[in-house]
Amino acid sequence: MIRLARRSLPALAAGLAAPARAQAAFPSRPVVMIAPAAPGGPTDVAGRVLVQYMPALIGQPVVLENRSGAAGQIGMRHVATAPPDGHTLVIGNTGSVGINPSYYRDPGYDIARDFTPVSMLMIAPVSLVVRADLPVRTPAELVAHIRAAGGRFSFGSSGTGQSPHVAAELFRHAAGVEFEIVPYRGAAPAVTDMLAGTVQAMFDSTSSVPFVRQGRLRALAVANIERSPLMPEVPTMAEAGFAGFDVSSWYVALAPAGTPPEAVLTLNAAMNPVMARPDVAERLAAINAVPMRGSPADAGAFVGRQLAYWREVLARAGIGEAR
């Protein structure tokens, strides 16, 4: 399990019984939420939901700040070195939290050493998506199309080391085909270029969903063990003949290591009700995402499992700078 900012779980739980006077001091100014991705993508969506509803629960404004680039490393490094007072948070995801530590030789931060888990936020399946005018309807047909193109085929990705990029690498490895993977500063610009024809396909979690529903893009399969309840008609990669895919996009809130337990609990106690709102669930369903809730300890355990999972997957496939 991931360490909770060098503090034990009993110490964090003890914060619940802290005097009201101690907890009343936090927050004393606006809380800055760092989204280490471009505006318009799923990280941004999660942040905007919190910005909208958290202020009424904590008594201070919440400001969303996009710091994209380097597969989320820029935003993550910023928060890793921020004052540990609870006023600066980051929305980490599968790539920046789960994959980067094993993909890069040195991402510039250590999840267990530099961060304190605050809360789980949401999760969405990753789907293999193509332009609707591409003459393919299954992953196998896509492989045949790529082979016929002689390698002149490109996948977009939301950034090097992000889950869509790693899913594309796994697909390339499993299918035995070559294609270019073009990294973008987030999912939204990658989807925009796919709609324009600059890239022909990508693995994506949420940004492509509205265009799939409009018929401008086509989802061939989901890269999860089970079908998505929000897109039940789309088969899994395993059902399509590509076993071993289990790639999802999840989002968690993290604070700098050393953030006081009472501040962590205050933030968690505000985030959980936001993610429990029916209108938030409806808003997230529009992008094929499902809210997640739980304690800081739950978030830490979840992240710890994901770190171990991606360490094993990347090592087995030989993917990443660290290989």
Does residue 211 sit in the same domain as residue 256? no
Cα–Cα nearest to 92, from 65, 114, 120, 113: 120
Q: Is the CB of residue 109 less than 8 Å from the CB of residue 241?
A: no
Q: Quick check: is 230 in a domain? A: no
DSSP state of 316: H
Q: Is the CB of residue 114 less than 8 Å from the CB of residue 106?
A: no
Confidence at residue 25, expressed as pLDDT on a 0 to 100 scale = 84
Does residue 19 sit in the same domain as residue 45? yes
Does residue 186 sit in the same domain as residue 218? yes
Query: Number of folded domains in the chain?
Result: 2
Q: Quick check: is 34 in a domain? A: yes
Does residue 116 sit in the same domain as residue 260? yes
d(CA 150, CA 19): 68
Does residue 119 sit in the same domain as residue 261? yes
Confidence at residue 12, expressed as pLDDT on a 0 to 100 scale = 38
Q: Quick check: is 166 in a domain? A: yes
Does residue 104 sit in the same domain as residue 30? yes
Q: Quick check: is 91 in a domain? A: yes
Confidence at residue 151, expressed as pLDDT on a 0 to 100 scale = 77
Does residue 45 sit in the same domain as residue 91? yes
Confidence at residue 10, expressed as pLDDT on a 0 to 100 scale = 38
In whole angstroms, how far apart are CA 69 and each of 20, 77, 106, 263? 40, 11, 15, 28
Confidence at residue 323, expressed as pLDDT on a 0 to 100 scale = 56
Q: Residue 309 maps to which CATH number?
A: 3.40.190.150
Residue range of the domain that includes 145: 127-222
Q: Residue 212 maps to which CATH number?
A: 3.40.190.10
- pTM across the whole model: 0.82
Confidence at residue 3, expressed as pLDDT on a 0 to 100 scale = 37
Q: Quick check: is 235 in a domain? A: no
Does residue 15 sit in the same domain as residue 115? yes
Helix residue ranges, H only, 186-244:
187-196, 209-214
10-residue averages of pLDDT along the chain (323 residues): 37 41 75 92 92 98 93 95 98 95 95 98 95 97 96 90 90 93 88 96 91 96 90 94 90 98 98 98 92 98 96 90 66
Confidence at residue 322, expressed as pLDDT on a 0 to 100 scale = 63
Domain boundary among 187, 222, 257: 222
